[in-house]
Amino acid sequence: MIWYLIAFLAAILLGASSIIEKKTLMKEHAMEFSAVVALYCLVLSIPLFFIIDYTKIQTGALGILFIESIFAAIAYVFIEKSVRHTEISLSSPLFVLIPASTVFFAFLFLHESVSWIQLVGIGLLIVGAYILETKGTDILEPLRMFKKSRYVQYILVAVVLYGITGVMDRLLLSNYQMQIETNMAFFYLFTAIDMIIMLTVFHDGFKGIVRGTKSAGIWIMLAAALTFASRYAYIGAVAIVAVGLVSAIKRTSALFSTVIGGEIFHDTQLIKRSVACIIMVLGAVLIVL
């Protein structure tokens, strides 16, 4: 299968997961939700441990994957906090900035080339994000929003962290020749450990996991299954081509979650946010080109 079809599959699955996450987070604590999702994903990855070729696993690669899992866990919690406290048509388009972050770090650490078309695409991502935060005719409102809104700041931190994790994935799959199954299995093992530690330190530990499972177990399980499948498709595509290209296509999921999710949850300024999202998706497409 062509790599971009796999990446689009990841985008569709991620968009569906985002809508379910928003529905669930309207009643659930973000960190509890994140921890339960991580545990469900670990359960889904158990069969992978039986097909891994353990003779090909390198200690250094596992170390990199563990560091990646920490960044990913922090980013995921930040995103879920933002999704819980903002309208989905506002938060989702900002995630389209992740390809720009990925391209930047891929250029910095992997020396992957950046063309002028990709630079134009990054510019459109920035313009779209700026329009997204603009209210009325006040062109300085986005700058104040980025400065004052804790949840927008969470998203921006997550954008940076996911850009770094994308480069780590490419490094592991390309330079270290890590199996996709190895990456998936140990990533979710490490992420589950990270989430349990964070939940214990910053919240109420296993009590939160039990409470989250009881109150929204089915919805969280569905979100976890979609997240797991989306990452599997994403990793499969990253193993084929540059991570910046895959990340750009994957983040077109924002258009799906913005338009459909915004309509479902009756978000305000939906037309303007949809237009901003389309501009950002166009930017992501140019990054692919």
pLDDT per position as a tens digit, 191-226? 999 999 998 888 777 777 787 777 767 888 898 999
In terms of Cα–Cα distance, which of 185, 146, 136, 162 is closest to 243?
Answer: 162
pLDDT value, residue 100:
78
* Confidence check: pLDDT of 52 > 60: yes
Higher-confidence residue of 18 and 180: namely: 180
Looking at residues 102-113, what average pLDDT do you find? 82
Q: Map residue 252 onto helix, strand or coil.
A: coil
- Do 173 and 238 touch, CB atoms closer than 8 A? yes
Q: Map residue 27 onto helix, strand or coil.
A: coil
Burial 166-192 (b: 16+ CB within 10 A, else e): bbbbbbbbeebebbebbbbbbbbbbbb
Q: Could you state, in order of their start, the residue ranges of all structural domains in the chain? A: 3-288
In terms of Cα–Cα distance, which of 239, 250, 231 is closest to 98?
Answer: 250
- Do 166 and 105 touch, CB atoms closer than 8 A? yes
